[in-house]
């Protein structure tokens, strides 16, 4: 082959490769490092719409069936119809309901189902990260619907955020309950409001560790263990100077908590963010070599040097109140001596 023909052939091959790459759907780990200019907002629900409930993390086979049925009725009480995942009561693969790929495939079937307007996970636990490589994020972008959960679901929220898709950090059936008058608790009410597009923001009481100021940015984050565990992986939460970061934790030791804060700091995430929302830190344990301080005091060591608004005791996490949050939504954060607020824009 002469040089001219070889050059023409090479150019043709390169163009074909570029075209194939541009048209191919990316999986869960695809181009998660890209800078997202705009976020897709799924359609809000209408009364009578159907939602899917499944497990992506730990199974629920050890929970009494009557308890599960009761919680499903509680969810239906907000004005939706519930369709349960086909694997929800199984425990056929190690510590999970079914294999990682099968759980991911069930999630994708719910994504593709036009009759389902939202997907809620029954519980967290562990295991969502094992399914991410089997998810087709471009297909999720083409079929956006509200994804609801927290705790272990943080890993999925982070990938959705990296791909420019809004989601709801909020309670799940395992954490819902009824008041003495058989009314939904505040956790479920805020999930209902978020799904139906009625959430505008939250007022937060003053806290002595708050840092005053105002800022606007895109809300992201969730459970600290999952945020830290993803650093350096294809599912690492992309944080920049436009990020308002939410953090919460449950059941960890102070050494672990300090390690997570070190990771946020050393990875550069803490120094980039626009504002920080410190949610509930529940059942945090001291260590064999005691710190003799609380979780918020430890976190304060890191926030004192930040020139950004910081809200402590923000109502999100593993204790009540656990209010639903629109991740991927622009928010306005205001912190003053008499209190703080987060407004969803």
Domain end among 179, 195, 211: 195
Give yes or no: residues 242 and 289 share one domain. Answer: yes
Structure token digits, residue 337: 């001596």
5 occurs within a structural domain: no
Give yes or no: residues 96 and 132 share one domain. Answer: yes
Query: 180 or 38: whose pLDDT is higher?
Result: 38
Give yes or no: residues 159 and 118 share one domain. Answer: yes
177 occurs within a structural domain: yes
Give yes or no: residues 295 and 179 share one domain. Answer: no
Give the pLDDT score at 22. Answer: 38
Nearby residues of 85 by Cβ (< 8 Å), 6 or more positions away:
52, 53, 54, 55, 106, 110
pLDDT digits (tens, 9 = 90+) for 83-113: 999 999 999 899 999 999 999 999 999 999 9
- H-assigned helices in the chain: 3-23, 65-76, 100-112, 137-142, 154-162, 186-195, 224-230, 254-266, 269-272, 295-303
pLDDT digits (tens, 9 = 90+) for 268-322: 999 999 999 999 999 999 998 999 999 999 999 999 999 999 999 999 999 999 9
Residue 40 DSSP symbol: B
Q: How far apart are the first and last CA of the chain?
A: 61
Q: Sign of the C-alpha dihedral, residues 222, 40, 128, 226?
A: negative
Give the pLDDT score at 30. Answer: 37
Domain end among 172, 195, 218: 195
| 144-152: average pLDDT | 98
**What is the helix, strand, coil percentage profile of the chain, to 5?**
35, 25, 40
Q: How many CB atoms lie within 10 A of CB 44?
A: 15
Domain total for the chain?
A: 2
Give the pLDDT score at 181. Answer: 58
Picking from 336, 331, 259, the residue whose alpha carbon sits closest to that of residue 299 is 259
| 15-36: average pLDDT | 41
294 occurs within a structural domain: yes
CATH number of the domain that residue 309 is part of: 3.50.30.60
How far from chain centre, in Å, is Cα 319?
Answer: 16
Give yes or no: residues 179 and 222 share one domain. Answer: no
Nearest-angstrom CA–CA distance, 272 and 244: 10
- Rounded to 5 degrees, φ, ψ at 113 are -75, 110
Structure token digits, residue 160: 């959705």
167 occurs within a structural domain: yes
Nearest-angstrom CA–CA distance, 178 and 170: 16
Cite the beta strand spans of 183-242 per DSSP E: 201-204, 213-223
Cis peptide bond prior to 284, omega within 30° of 0:
no
pLDDT digits (tens, 9 = 90+) for 194-224: 999 999 999 999 999 999 999 999 999 999 9
Q: Please say if the pLDDT value at position 63 is more than 50.
A: yes
CATH number of the domain that residue 187 is part of: 3.40.50.10740
Range of the structural domain that residue 303 is part of: 202-344
Give the pLDDT score at 222. Answer: 99
Residue 163 DSSP symbol: T
Give the pLDDT score at 281. Answer: 98
Give yes or no: residues 215 and 240 share one domain. Answer: yes
Residue appearing with tokens 């989601």: 167
Give the pLDDT score at 282. Answer: 97
Give yes or no: residues 237 and 174 share one domain. Answer: no
Nearest-angstrom CA–CA distance, 170 and 286: 27
Please give the mean pLDDT across all residues of the chain: 90
pLDDT digits (tens, 9 = 90+) for 149-197: 999 999 999 999 999 999 999 999 988 866 655 667 889 999 999 999 9
């Amino acid at each position: 082959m002469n040089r001219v023909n070889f050059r023409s052939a090479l150019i043709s091959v390169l163009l074909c490769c570029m075209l194939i790459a541009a048209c191919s759907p990316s999986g869960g780990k695809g181009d998660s490092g890209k800078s997202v200019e705009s976020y897709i907002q799924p359609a809000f629900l209408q009364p009578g719409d159907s939602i899917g409930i499944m497990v992506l993390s730990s199974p629920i086979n050890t929970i009494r069936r009557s308890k599960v049925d009761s919680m499903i009725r509680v969810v239906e009480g907000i004005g939706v119809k519930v369709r349960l995942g086909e694997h929800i009561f199984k425990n056929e693969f190690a510590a999970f309901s079914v294999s990682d790929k099968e759980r991911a495939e069930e999630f994708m079937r719910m994504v593709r189902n036009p009759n389902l307007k939202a997907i809620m996970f029954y519980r967290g636990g562990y295991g969502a990260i094992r399914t991410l490589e089997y998810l087709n994020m471009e297909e999720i972008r083409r079929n956006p619907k509200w994804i609801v959960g927290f705790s272990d679901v943080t890993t999925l929220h982070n990938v959705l955020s990296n791909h420019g898709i809004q989601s709801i950090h909020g309670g799940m059936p395992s954490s819902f309950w009824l008041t003495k008058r058989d009314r939904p608790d505040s956790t479920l009410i805020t999930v209902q409001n978020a799904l139906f597009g009625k959430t505008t923001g939250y007022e937060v009481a003053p806290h002595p560790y708050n840092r005053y100021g105002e800022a606007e940015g895109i809300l992201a984050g969730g459970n600290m263990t999952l945020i830290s565990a993803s650093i350096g992986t294809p599912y690492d939460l992309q944080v920049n100077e436009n990020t308002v970061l939410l953090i919460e934790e449950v059941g960890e030791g102070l050494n672990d908590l300090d390690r997570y804060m070190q990771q946020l700091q050393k990875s550069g995430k803490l120094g980039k963010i626009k504002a920080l929302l410190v949610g509930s830190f529940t059942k945090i344990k001291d260590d064999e070599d005691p710190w003799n301080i609380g979780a918020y005091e430890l976190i304060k060591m890191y926030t004192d040097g930040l020139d950004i608004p910081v809200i402590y005791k923000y109502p999100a996490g593993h204790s009540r109140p656990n209010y639903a949050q629109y991740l991927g939504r622009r928010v306005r954060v205001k912190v003053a001596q008499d209190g703080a607020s987060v407004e969803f824009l």
